[in-house]
Amino acid sequence: MPLLDPQPGALRPRPSAGHGPAADRVADSRARGTAQPLRGDLERLLGPGKVLWKVSDLVRYASDASPYRFVPQVVVLAEDVDDVSAVLSYARGHGRDVVFRAAGTSLNGQAQGEDILVDVRRHWTGAEVLDEEGGQARILPGTTVFRANAALAPYGRVLGPDPASAIACTVGGVVANNASGMTAGTTRNSYRTVASLTAVLPSGTVVDTAHPAADEELARAEPALCEGLLALKAEIEADPRLADRIRAKYTLKNTNGYRLDAFLDGGTPVEILRGLMVGSQGTLGFLSEVVFDTLPLNRRTSTELLFFPTLSAAAAAVPLFNEAGALAVELMDGNTLRASVSVQGVPADWAELPKETTALLVEFRSPDEAAQEASERAAGEALAGLELVAPVPSVTNAFTRDAKTIASYWKARKAFVTAVGGSRPSGTTLITEDFAVPPARLAEACEALLELQERHGFDAAVAGHAAHGNLHFLLAFDAADPADVARYAAFMDDFCRLTVERFDGSLKAEHATGRNIAPFLELEWGERATELMWRIKQLFDPAGVLAPRVMLDRDPRAHLRGLKSIPRVEDEADPCIECGFCEPTCPSEDLTTTPRQRIVLRREMMRQTPASPVNDSLLESYGYDAVDTCAGDSTCKLACPVGIDTGALMKDFRHARHTDREERAAERAARHFAAVERSARLAVAAAGQVRGRLRGRSGDLGDRMLESVTGGLRKAVRPDLVPEWLPQIPGAAAKRLPATDRATAAAVYFPACVNRIFGEPEGHEGPSLPEAMVIVSARAGRPVWIPEDVTGGCCATIWHSKGYEAGSTLMANRIVESAWRWTDGGELPLVVDASSCTLGIAHEVVPYLTPANAKLHERLTVVDSLVWAADELLPRLTVERRVGTAVLHPTCSMRHLGDEEQLRRVAEACAEQVEVPLDAGCCAFAGDRGMLHKELTLSATAKEAAQVRERPYDAYLSANRTCEIGMDYATGGRGYRSVVLELERATRPR
């Protein structure tokens, strides 16, 4: 056993009053995960690495953004089309079914299955622009919409669909659901902008609809399918009343059921298949790639948030803005506006708005200045005569072009989910629904919906894409309470009848049918059209392999099956609505678990009795999968609609697992950190000498020996405490810091402990980082002073990232007291040369401070070195030389601090061409976590490192030493260094 083994059972849930096992808990019989022969069959078929079988794997894939939860029997990580075909063949031969899952942001359970669940996100990312103008792009299904648009941005192009979940949802899911968003309407959605697609049918047949011989090949491979599709086309066309009805249904946004107009728009089986696959929700085949016709990006934006006294007044204004050419007209009713004040940045006085107040967020996008001015004139004409609660300054300059203001408007609009979802009662699940009505009846529909919500006892609020008559609402109810489920069921019955019978609307405008609306499909479409949809499913999937009950279900109560209970968990995580927005930012996404999955697993523990076999199995995995491999970078908080910091929760769990002996050892290390720091620098220096001597004679023998020594210590003490030696670890820093003068200083310079321990990357020539900071600051006439007693000072991140409370408290208070003294009570700024340490001193120490030191901290000005360089030094310096190319690694701390732009600004002064990889993200080195779990850094940086390795750069720049070590490790020793070093070199006098 390791010397410092975590406390056993420290994370086991504690029973609370009234808490008992939930009815929807995972059964004890599944504690060992996937049963045989299924597990063995798939491992032999695909290889063990592609089959996830532990109960923790099954549970973490059992939830998506919907109110449903279905635990699969097994999860497969498909790597290519051959894997998908093999799984489909196995399912057909063994009477099993298959569901495909990418991002899991679906709102109606489309990404959940009860048998074989196939992950088609992890190995299915990539976007290829197909022409010089960016007119078409080939995109793999696991690519997020945000990432695809990032690839198109240099060409001034964008995808048509723009769902609010673009940061997380994947292109495969967008096409499969025909998701649209705030600007897509009925003309820019996937159905209208997908040029071609490649599909794997349930039979295993692969169809590339762009191939010149696609129809001939499909006829040979699937004659019955081709004949059936043409027969259905002839049948629809022979019934003018049905054909007219189908056309009429798609004048509104409509994603309910199969896209029947594919039979009217397509002339051949392949053309019909292309149309049917869009919006088929994974029930007809797997989309292995999609080619989009892209649209102009139109970067010039004019936006305004307008407040109207009543809902009807706002609705009456919508056609005016549509006619003026607005790309987006978004509606927020009074209840939504008033609830939104809980979201950071939303004005507090919105809480005092009258209930009847309604806002429209109106946006125009233009390709050039002339077009933008014309749009703004048209917007002004539309505004003339409108009655506004808070009138705009004047008709001629009402719409703003300021990017920050526009971003704040959109944050308020997207706060709809945040405000309702985050503030829902604990223990309730959240459902997000959307529907569409003729835009002319928008106000009537809003009022009817609000009245219906109130009648059934739900919080009444509505928002939506007013330009298209598309409205959204949220319901929170307790799925563990039969009475609450009955209330929800009664509401859904009334809502569906209202939408169809009163408004002839679409029950699903953009979220696709899913499990929640499947029982109501016939209510909207009628018996004839619904029967056509069943025949389509039979043609494509006669064995019923794909996604049963996801879109077609004759059970009138099917939408009440599988509703998930939401047991209370730790306060930090309890508001989680399981939307998945956090997942693309998570460094461990492709290694172990994501923030959402960490919470999903915790909720399952709460459903169980504390000592159940399932809990035993979950806890056995949770320590490594959730706690140890969390980078603790808290970028999940930035992406989370309700601001959950799962990284902070995992740090709390680390603390919970500590023994008293471990906590005392950490506090002693903090108390005597000056000695620890000197010892660490000496150890690095000694290791460097060993490595240098042995490398010269025996290649990498020195590195291998150091890896062996640290590996032995890790086994003896604990892998999560003892760092592993990495070949990219640099040599030791100089024993002494540069001499500086306090009297002339414009700032106090605090070299972070990592820069006092580690030197520069191998091959670096020139001054060290502390020397460069002193030199370049003096060169700019803004000299800095390094206090003589900085040794032993630390930002406390070492302790709080590992969950050491006493050590964090001691070091946090010490650094604030020192900084107060060094800066003469905050008179001078404190410049810190590592972005994570800047974040630590500026923000993360605050919870650990005494009341007195908290007051001192408020007076301090903590400045990151790259901000100091960009704002104070660069304007006063002359650039004498520039390298050709530089690639940047913005750190997660920079995202929290909001200073990524300063990194780019300094780099652009030093290099002719500066690039940030499209897949740049947290490197997960996280101080020393990359040395504790190097597999975490390799996984987190895989995509970014692959982009960096595609070509050589003259400079590899960042502003955090440990992150630079992590990127060196990931890229094979490219030599990442601080941008301040490059600035010193670039401005060095000739």
| Choice between 522 and 665, residue whose per-residue pLDDT is larger | 522
3-class DSSP string for 187-252: CCCHHHHEEEEEEECCCCCEEECCCCCHHHHHHHHCHHHHHHHHHHHHHHHCCHHHHHHHHHHCCC
Domain for residue 778, yes or no?
no
Closest CA to 968 of 941, 990, 947, 989: 941
Q: Given 474, 504, 534, which residue is the final one in a domain?
A: 504
Read off the pLDDT band of 127 (50, 70, 90).
very high
- The pLDDT, as a whole number, for residue 667 is 93
For residue 118, is pLDDT > 90? yes
Q: What is the pLDDT of residues 539-564, one digit of tens each?
A: 999 999 999 999 999 999 999 999 99
Q: Quick check: 117 pLDDT over 60?
A: yes
Compute CA 598 distance to the chain's CA centroid, rounded to the nearest angstrom.
Answer: 14
Distance CA 904, CA 898 (A): 12
Predicted local confidence at residue 136, as pLDDT? 98
Q: Tell me, what CATH number does 404's domain have?
A: 3.40.462.10
Alpha-carbon distance values, 620 to 551, 653, 931, 956 (Å): 37, 14, 23, 40
The amino acid that residue 699 corresponds to is G
The C-alpha atoms of residue 664 and residue 87 are separated, in whole angstroms, by 53
Is residue 296 within 8 Å of 269, Cβ to Cβ? no
Q: How confident is the model at residue 969 (pLDDT cuts 50, 70, 90)?
A: very high
What proportion of the chain, given as a percentage, has pLDDT over 70?
95
Q: Output the pLDDT for position 394.
A: 44
Q: Is the pLDDT of residue 588 over 80?
A: yes
Q: Is residue 96 part of a domain?
A: no
Averaged pLDDT score across all residues of the chain: 92
Contact 868, 831 (CB under 8 A): yes
Tell me the residue range of the domain where 960 lies: 879-986
User: What is the per-residue pLDDT across 32-77, written as a single tens digit (0 to 9) for each?
Assistant: 999 999 999 999 999 999 999 999 999 999 999 999 999 999 999 9
Dig out the tokens for 525 from the structure: 């479409």
Distance from chain centroid for Cα 425: 25
Last residue in a domain, options 456, 480, 504: 504
- 163-172, 270-279, 405-414, 799-808, range with the lowest pLDDT: 405-414
610: confidence class by pLDDT, cuts 50, 70, 90 = confident
Find the angle CA(80)-CA(84)-CA(85) to the nearest 5 degrees.
115
Count of the separate structural domains present in the chain:
2
Is residue 193, in this structure, part of any structural domain at all?
no
In sequence order, what are the beta bridge partners of 199?
Answer: 207, 287
Where among 504, 520, 549 does a domain terminate?
A: 504
% of the chain with per-residue pLDDT over 90: 80
- Asked if residue 747 is part of any domain, the answer here is no
Query: Residues 269-274: what's their mean pLDDT?
Result: 98
Residue 912 phi, psi dihedral angles, 5° rounding:
-65, -40
CA nearest to 89, candidates 205, 197, 172: 205
Q: Is the pLDDT of residue 415 over 70?
A: yes
pLDDT band at residue 342 using 50, 70 and 90 as cut-offs: confident
Q: What is the rounded CA–CA span in Å between residue 773 and residue 776?
A: 5
Give the chain's count of helices (H) and strands (E).
Answer: 41, 25
Contacts of 924 (CB under 8 A, 6+ apart): 587, 588, 631, 633, 930, 936, 937, 939, 940, 941, 966
Averaged pLDDT, 120-139: 96
Residue 668 in any domain: the answer is no
Q: How confident is the model at residue 710 (pLDDT cuts 50, 70, 90)?
A: low
Top-ranked range on mean pLDDT: pick from 414-418, 700-704, 858-862: 858-862
Dist CA 810 CA 853 (whole Å): 12
Region 9-32: mean pLDDT is 84
Q: Is residue 963 part of a domain?
A: yes
| Residue of 414 and 383 predicted with greater confidence | 383
pLDDT band of 893, cuts 50, 70, 90: very high
SS3 label, residue 796: coil
pLDDT at 396: 44
Confidence category of residue 835, pLDDT binned at 50, 70, 90? very high
Cis peptide before 575 (omega within 30 of 0): no
pLDDT value for 551: 96
Q: Is residue 16 scored above 90 in pLDDT?
A: no
Residue 31 has pLDDT above 70, yes or no: yes
Whether the pLDDT of residue 974 is over 50: the answer is: yes
pLDDT of 522 higher than 50 = yes
How many other C-beta atoms can be found within 10 angstroms of the C-beta atom of residue 440?
12
Is pLDDT of 395 > 50? no
3-state secondary structure of 537: helix
Q: How confident is the model at residue 391 (pLDDT cuts 50, 70, 90)?
A: low
Residues 713-763 have pLDDT tens digits of 666 666 666 677 777 788 889 989 999 999 999 999 999 999 999 998 888
The C-alpha angle 274, 280, 285, rounded to 5 degrees, equals: 70
Q: What is the pLDDT of residue 8?
A: 62
* Residue 955 near residue 883, CB atoms below 8 Å: yes
pLDDT over 70 (residue 23): yes
Q: How far apart are the C-alpha atoms of 517 and 181, rounded to whole Å?
A: 19
Terminal CA-CA length for the chain: 61
Predicted confidence (pLDDT) per residue in 941-956, tens digit: 999 999 999 999 999 9
In the prediction, which pLDDT does 516 show?
Answer: 95
Give kind and range of the element (H or E) at residue 750.
strand 747-750
Q: Dump the DSSP string for 950-968.
A: TS--SEEEES-HHHHHHHH
Q: Each residue of 613-664: pLDDT tens digit?
A: 999 999 999 999 999 999 999 999 999 988 899 999 999 999 999 888 889 9
Kindly state whether residue 937 falls inside one of the protein's structural domains: yes
Q: Can you give the CATH number for the domain in which 908 is found?
A: 3.40.50
Q: In terms of DSSP bridges, do strands 862-864 and 883-888 run parallel, antiparallel, or are they unpaired?
A: unpaired
Is residue 903 in some structural domain? yes
The reported pTM is: 0.94
User: With 60 as the cut, is the pLDDT of residue 566 above it?
Assistant: yes
